[in-house]
Amino acid sequence: MDPDAVKSTLSNLAFGNVLAAAARDYKKEVLANEKAQSSKHVNEEVDLDELMDDPELEKLHADRIAALKREVEKREAFKRQGHGEYREVNEGDFLGEVTRSEKVICHFYHKEFYRCKIMDKHLKTLAPRHVDTKFIKVDAENAPFFVSKLAIKTLPCVLLFSKGIAVDRLVGFQDLGTKDDFTTTRLENVLIKKGMLSKKKKEEDDEDAEYQESIRRSVRSSENLDSDSD
């Protein structure tokens, strides 16, 4: 047998063994990585299960739902008192309206006055944003007794009531820059400074309808869960 041929055959076998060994090592490495990843996912799932059963997390969830329910009940109570919308009241109902709520903003207006219409627009926007304050308006022509008693000389005149007592007023646009193009936000800030509105957090500035609906959805979901658990 040719010695060179034998040498070549042995060399090829050795190279083949090296490739086979390398392939085996690569396969072992791949399997080890897959096993490590699988073990990691199992551990993550176990951690999530433990987290879901965490009594502190459950308490936080229960506290949040309870707070939402209280908020809904509070807002509904205000609405039963006429809060949440900008309403017109007559002279006969005026006293009852301003004495039944802690904070009341009342606009004495004239239906033909352009500036009264501007004030109407802004107050109508603010009413659903600040449900803890009542917003009403009175036609000055049809309420001569209170126009006289409250010494209303200029329209629009926005009276601010706290616990049934007139504590301040906005006469015309004097507090709003005296011009007609003031913004709702400017009026809102003036009323906040006068203590008639609560300063709202940034995340509460969405439309009131959307805000209330999100609360109701959370409450309904909680009630359904409670019902299922029973």
Cis peptide leading into 3, omega within 30 of 0?
no
Would you say residue 18 lies in a domain? no
Q: Is the pLDDT of residue 34 over 80?
A: no
Q: What residues contact 118, with CB distance under 8 A and at least 6 apart? A: 156, 180
Domain range for 140: 83-194
Please tell me the number of Cα atoms within 13 Å of 115 on its side-chain side.
16
Q: Is the pLDDT of residue 43 over 90?
A: no
Token pair for 214 = 């999100």
pLDDT tens digits for 150-164? 999 999 999 999 999
Q: How far apart are CA 194 and CA 182, in angstroms?
A: 18
Would you say residue 135 lies in a domain? yes
Would you say residue 209 lies in a domain? no
Would you say residue 10 lies in a domain? no
Would you say residue 73 lies in a domain? no
Q: Would the pTM count as exceeding 0.85?
A: no
Token pair for 202 = 């940034």
Number of structural domains found in the chain:
1
Which alpha helices (DSSP H) does the chain contain, by range? 3-52, 55-80, 91-99, 114-126, 144-149, 184-193, 208-229
Would you say residue 129 lies in a domain? yes
Q: How far apart are CA 175 and CA 173, in angstroms?
A: 6
Mean pLDDT of the chain: 78
pLDDT tens digits for 80-111? 777 899 999 999 999 999 999 999 999 999 99
* Helix or strand holding residue 138 (H, E): strand 134-139
Token pair for 110 = 């004239």
- Given a contact cutoff of 8 angstroms between Cβ atoms, the answer to whether 81 and 101 are in contact is yes
- CATH code of the domain containing 152: 3.40.30.10
* Helix or strand holding residue 107 (H, E): strand 103-109
Q: Is the pLDDT of residue 204 over 60?
A: no
- The per-residue pLDDT for 212 is 57
Residue 88 vs residue 223, higher pLDDT? 88
Would you say residue 102 lies in a domain? yes
**DSSP code at position 128:** T
Would you say residue 230 lies in a domain? no
Token pair for 73 = 């009940």
